[in-house]
Structures are given as C-alpha cells and as structure tokens.
Amino acid sequence: MPALALLATAALVVPTATKAEAATCVRSWSASAGDSVGSGLGFSYSGWPGGNARVKATYKISGTVKSIRVRMSQGGTSTSTTLLGTSGKKVTKDVAVGYRNKGNGTLWFEPRGDSTTTGRTLYSFCLYRS
C-alpha cells in the first residue's frame, strides 16, 4: 500500500516555471549569432517598476580569467554583478543585480577580468523584477 500512495503522489507533481519564465521582462534582447561584448554593450530600459532586479543571460566566454560585469545604471547610480567564465561553452545563468528604484536607465554588459575586449559573446538576456 505505501508504494501505491507514493505512485499516486508522484502523479500529482506539476512542473513549475523558473523565475524568469514566470516574470515579465522589462527589457530583453536576443541575437542568434550573438554579439561581442567588446568594450561594453548598453541596452536602455524604461518603466522599471522598482524592486530587486535579476538578469537571465545566455553567453559564452573564452578563457579562464575573463568575465562579464552586468551593471544596471539608473539616475547616476548603479548596481552590478559578474557573469563568470565558461571555458568556451554557451551557458544560461540567472543572477541578481540588486535593488533599483522605479525609473529608467541602462543595462550594461562590460568586459572584466583582463584587459582584452575579445572572447565574450552575449546571445540573449531578460531583465526582470524578482
């Protein structure tokens, strides 16, 4: 009987959406071939509702010392986080950027970790409130 109860319970499990899938993107972007981060990629956003910001990004970084800084600039101040190197693999990560008040601004993807502007490719992102 316990095995039957376990099977019945397992049948009721419903998959849940990830935070980014359940949330509405305030700003998003994608390019199938990707775009080099170079010396920095900036994406303006408007209508940020205020609150904790998260970014779900798909990217690739060649090299172990390279990273991408994700910076949310608004009203003369900014908060940021870092996307770490991926050894040349395309990955998707969801990271917290920080709290921002209601307003408009720019989401930046900037090179970090070494002095080169190569080896960092951004494929897509979704900026959303968590």
pLDDT digits (tens, 9 = 90+) for 15-28: 444 555 557 999 99
Contacts of 94 (CB under 8 A, 6+ apart): 18, 19, 20, 54, 55, 56
- 96-121 pLDDT, tens digit per residue, is 999 999 999 999 999 998 888 899 99
Which amino acid, 94?
D
What predicted TM-score, i.e. pTM, was given to this entire model?
A: 0.81
Say which DSSP state 86 is in: -
Q: In CATH, what is the architecture of 26-129?
A: Sandwich (2.60)
